[in-house]
Structure 1
Amino acid sequence: MTDTTRSDAILARMMEFHPKIIDLTLDRVHRMLAALDHPERNVPPVIHIAGTNGKGSTQAMIRAGLEAMGKRVHAYTSPHLAWFHERIRLAGELITEDALATLLDECVTANGGEEITFFEITTCAAFLAFARTPADYTLLEVGLGGRLDATNVIDHPVLTVITPVSIDHQQYLGETLPEIAGEKAGIIKRHVPCVVGPQMEDGLAVIEARAERLGAPVLAYGQHWHVTTERGRLIYQDERGLLDLPLPNLPGPHQIQNAGAALAVLRHLGADEAACEAAVTRAFWPARMQRLKTGPLVEAAPGVELWLDGGHNPAGGEAIAATLAAMPQRPTHAICGMLNTKDIGGYLRPLTSCLNSLHAVSIPGEKNTLPAEVTAEAATAAGIPAHIAENVASALQAIAAQDPQARVLICGSLYLAGTILRENG
């Protein structure tokens, strides 16, 4: 990455514009967009994606498919891992440092010292960038929830997508699955088709009820499209027929359903089989069961098979467990750091049968990190032999000394994953 000093300084100032990190409302966003002369009205056609898990992977596959069709695609995602620039992709390329810093300066000036959250003002900056750069589509990933998320200001997207909904962020979205599904379903717009991934029955009922009220056609998994695996291939079927494709290059059984949702979107947009194959074979999405093959950490433990995953909720734990279960057997150890806002017991429970041990770390530089001691206690309670480590490097050294051919998974938080990607190059 080039020198990011200028944008980093502006982003740091933006963190001080509002006392709360998360404060769900659209009032400040509408005010800010009005001050910027409503760039959200001029972005290329939007595909809006919400859900608890799989949003980013699904977006990455949709983008790969559209780009294989020769389309220019904007993409907005959060949080970033190593650098903020990852959040804004303009016509296929990450936003440059100069362009980002100039946009952020413009937004700070337009805001005029009013209260606004970091996510709100940076989302407005993304809309400004998207409106000024020609493209065929804009892929917009919800930050949190949907109904009151800063991205939910597009009146007429071409499609909305809801990936699997599960329990997470209860302090903001509600305690029950139907409540959370209702927040996610807030992105559904009148008469705009909605692609719906696999859902729990009570969550799906909420999504379908809102779609019916708004006259929004639903393209739901298990009803309007189906996806499965057969003899090492991905089989997708809808009313247009059957696709027999390679398995997704993004690892893990959960990527099958994400691929299905992406294919449903692409088929609705008229993609041919070649574009659909590109969607599942060319997508790249870091820190989702990503194999690390180079860098200082890999060099420090050359016999170790090193993986990185940013999943952080119970559904994420289940996805990791299913992925590990599908891999060739090998002693597997976790290096885990989590935030104190997450359900660590729920996250670790599915991993109990997959892990030989867990080394707990605190996330460096993160004030909301769960102390390593608490993570270790939770692992012990879940039946996983646990140790406390000063940092990831020392944990990796300890594992490699004991088990030089081990599989090691660094996991528990996107913030930890971002630290690893920055430090490991």
Structure 2
Amino acid sequence: MKFIHAADLHLDSPFLGLQNHIIPSKLWSLIRESTFTSFKKMVDDAIRQNVDFVLLVGDLFDRNDHSVRVETRFFEELNRLADHQIPVLISFGNHDYFNGDPSQLGYPANTTVFPNKVTTTNVVLRSGQRVAVTGFSFGSQWVKRPVIEDYPQATGKAEWHIGMLHGSLESLHSPAAHYAPFTLKQLQEKNYDYWALGHIHKRQSLDERGTINYSGNIQGRHINEPGEKGYLLVKSDQQSLKTSFVATAPIVWEELRLPLGKETVGALANTLVKKLEASQFNKMHFLRIILTNRSQAPINVLKAISDGTLLAAVQDLNSQIWEQLNCWVTSVKLAQERPTIVSQLDQTYFDQARDDLFTADELRALAGSLKRVAFINQDLTADDSFDDIFNRATTLLQENIDDQGGGVE
């Protein structure tokens, strides 16, 4: 037995926050097409590998009101798999939830869509072995009930039993834990041979045997989804299953840490681009540059980072040679010791106010409705965002102090 486990395709993701007047149109088209490119590569591999079936575990589309164009392109790939007699099993997730009759979707005969209630379907392999696959589709955006309780125990009626579940491990401390939550113990107690999980975009295995897996998404969409993305190829070896990762994403998101030298602000952009030339990326990378500095950076450098002028200068140079560099800089940040207020402002009082008022909860409260924008909310919850925002706020305060001649009324 050999099959593909993929999830979170997010076809036609809008990649909010990336487009501006500097990014080249060809590069913008590349990123907008990246989810389709990755999916097509996966289908190519399925055909070349002659897999027995393909599992797509939720959030195939970025939103449930997707366009006819996206639907048409998805149909094309399903039809290619159908032409090679490769079954496809689909469960919809919280982004592409569907509460209608799956038979009305008009998908080709090789495609099975799980309804809103937990259902088991059988796939007969070329060898004659039978695989029981159990899953369900989200009928609405929110599924807070532990649907795992409806999954049946594995029986001896099939040689293999696989579970498809788009949801979140209850122990994960994130808003995602509100989506069809489950525990590792609940999964293990079903005695399935493999669990194909979706919803969490970080590829990971939840058990020592490597048979309870999140495949991650097939294309990173922002800096908080770094590294290679793709699918899991699962093969049987007698009575055990072996899983390997296959990369398909045409674009990789990464952080690149570069030391901050003594250049002036005007020369810094050129220096950074020259360092990018030495990186020699073998595929397209979208980068966040992290400038490292042991001492406190000059105030003009902090200001250039804070107000975006340094990024604009880097992107202007980057736009001319992005194809040669095989990379695009999306943001510039600074990693250093927390800046201090060097003035008549009492540092002790400032630190006390910081500890009392500048907390993660206060930051999220100030963000207000901005948290509803996915990429902003994800950045707010990133590990380094809190310190970065604090440093920027401190920089602005220091600028105002300097502008007033070092005095505070």
What TM-score results when the alignment is normalised by the length of structure 1?
0.31
Structure of higher CA gyration radius: 2
> Which one has a larger percent strand, Structure 1 or Structure 2?
2
Q: By percentage of residues, which structure has more helix?
A: 1
Higher relative contact order (CA 8 A, sep 6+): 1
